Amino acid sequence: METTWTHQTVLLNEAVQALSINPDGHYVDATFGRGGHSRAILQRLSPQGRLTVFDKDPQAIEVARQLAAQDARVSVRHSGFAAMAELPPACADGILMDLGVSSPQIDDPARGFSFRHDGPLDMRMDTTRGQSVAQWLETVPISTLAEVIRDYGEERFAAPIAKAIDRRRQERGPVRTTGELAEIVAGAVKTREPGKDPATRTFQALRIFINAELEELQQALEASLALLKPQGRLVVISFHSLEDRPVKQFMARHSRAVVDRRAPFAEPAPTRLAEVHRVMPSEAEVQGNPRARSAVMRVATRTGVA
C-alpha cells in the first residue's frame, strides 16, 4: 500500500495575513510544498485573483498541477524560486517564500533527507536533475567536503567528519545510504548538544549545498524587488540562521536610505522596502508542531520607488 506523507504548514494564518491579500491581486507562492499556504491564499482571492506557484520537487509539482486542474486561477512552474525573475516586472501584489524542507521530503526514506530513516543518500529537491549527495561524495576532495560541512552546517567537527567519510570510501567503497552516513558522522563527532543527533549539522550542510539553496535564495530575494508592485508584501519564513541571516540583511539593506559618500550633500538613495518586522510561531503552534520551533517569519512592504 502506498504511504501518504502529510505536511503541517508552519505560520499558515500569520503568513497569509502578512500578505494583506487584495482579492483581485496576483500572488506568488515561491515554494509550493504541499500547498498549505497556496490554498489559504486562494480562499481569499476573488475569481479575478491569480496565484503563481513554484517548486523544484516533482512530487510537489504533481500536487500543484492537480490544484491547477481544479482552479483556473493557479499557474504552476516546475522551477526553483530564482526563476521568479522570469515573471513580468511589477506583476505581484505579494510574494511568499517558505524555506523549510517539507515533512513529506523528510519523512519519506526514499528522498534521503533524514538520518532517522535509512534510505538512498539523495537529498535533491528536484530528483529529475543534478547529482545526488551519494554521487557527489564519491569524488569530492576532503578539503572541499570539510569546507561544505563547516560553512553550511556550522559544524566544528567538519574536518574529522570529512576524513572519516574519505577513509570509509577508500576502505569499503562509496557511501550509499543515509544510515551509513549517519553512522560515519556519529563516529567522528566526539560531543554534541543534548538531544541533538550528531548527524544533524552534516545532513543540513549537504542538503543546502547539493540544492544550492543559499545561492538561489539570494537570487530570489533580488528578483522579488522587481516583481512586487508598490505596497506589495514580501513574506519569508526561514528555519535556521543560515537562511534567516541573508533575509534579515537583505530587508535591512533595502529599508535604509543610502548616502553616497562621494556626494555627501546629495539626496540619499530612496529605500525600496519598508515596515520590516519579524513574527515568531506561538507556543501553541510549537507544541502542536515541533518543526515550527525554529521558524522565523520576516515581512517587508515594497515602497513606490523603483
Give Cα separations from 255 to 49, 84, 223 (angstroms). 29, 21, 16
81 is in an annotated binding site: yes
288 is in an annotated binding site: no
C-alpha cell at 139: 569524488
119 is in an annotated binding site: no
**Environment class of residue 53 by beta-carbon count within 10 Å: exposed (0-12), middle (13-18) or buried (19+)?**
buried
Alpha-carbon distance 236 to 252, whole Å?
Answer: 14
Question: Which residues have a Cβ under 8 Å from the Cβ of 67 and sit 6 or more positions away?
Answer: 35, 38, 39, 74
37 is in an annotated binding site: yes
Helix axes of 200-210 and 213-227: crossing angle, nearest 10 degrees: 50
Fill in the amino acid letter for 180.
E
36 is in an annotated binding site: yes
Give Cα separations from 61 to 19, 54, 64, 94, 243 (angstroms). 23, 8, 5, 21, 23
98 is in an annotated binding site: yes
35 is in an annotated binding site: yes
CB of 213 within 8 A of CB of 82? no
Beta-carbon count within 10 A of 162 CB: 24
H helix runs in the chain, sequence order: 12-18, 36-43, 58-70, 103-107, 133-139, 142-153, 158-172, 178-188, 200-210, 213-227, 241-254, 283-288
3-state secondary structure of 299: strand
Annotated binding site: 35-37, 55, 81, 98, 105
- Known binding-site residue numbers for S-adenosyl-L-methionine: 35-37, 55, 81, 98, 105
